[in-house]
Amino acid sequence: MEFEGLPRKAIVGITGGIGSGKSVVSRILRLNGFPVYDCDMEAKRIMHENLHVRKRLCEIAGDRVYGPDGCLDRVYMAQCIFSDSVLREAVNKVVHKAVFDDFMIFSERSSEKFVFCESAILVSSGFYSICDAVLLVDAPESLRIERVVARNGLHRDEVKKRIASQEGEFTSLPYEKTFVVENDGVNPILPYVLKFIKKDITKTEITCSEKFWL
């Protein structure tokens, strides 16, 4: 299947599980002048700065969600949403909506032909629905575990649990607009990311079944 009828400016999602290397892909794109919106980083900013979001989170999870210093108490928030699925859904709805609106402003301000959006939860956040294409960054599980253990100091079993908990996000991606970027730690990643951004995602130049093996 081929892309048809894309707008002049395409929105491209960047996703992948823990340790896959999606942040590396984002870094390469930024260094080449492309706008990349980091949903996780911007969500943290929004929860701190956006007064409407702060008010709603306090209404949902209680005033303790923000500490005396005015900063979000992430430990308390994590405890709240971990033990209460209804509360978790309510918090996610508020945050995802605010991040979505913020990204749309970010996208509209860009004059580039591609605007990239990095998120580990493109599906559950609903962002995938506005993406004209998705770059799914992947790597062998053993390598992902090694990367996260070295980076975060987590136990291997904990990393495996996190990997397993994320899998539904990626198997649910729409195949017809998903490109796999295999970041195996052997072949250089830069040439293949550049290969993608130097092409136009158009009916005549690129098909959805093409994969960029790194």
Burial class of residue 1, CB neighbours in 10 A (0-12, 13-18, 19+): exposed
Per run of 10 residues, the mean pLDDT along the chain (length 214 residues) is 50 92 91 92 96 96 92 89 88 95 94 91 91 90 90 86 85 85 82 71 39 38
How confident is the model at residue 1, as a pLDDT?
A: 27
How confident is the model at residue 32, as a pLDDT?
A: 85
pTM score of the predicted model: 0.83
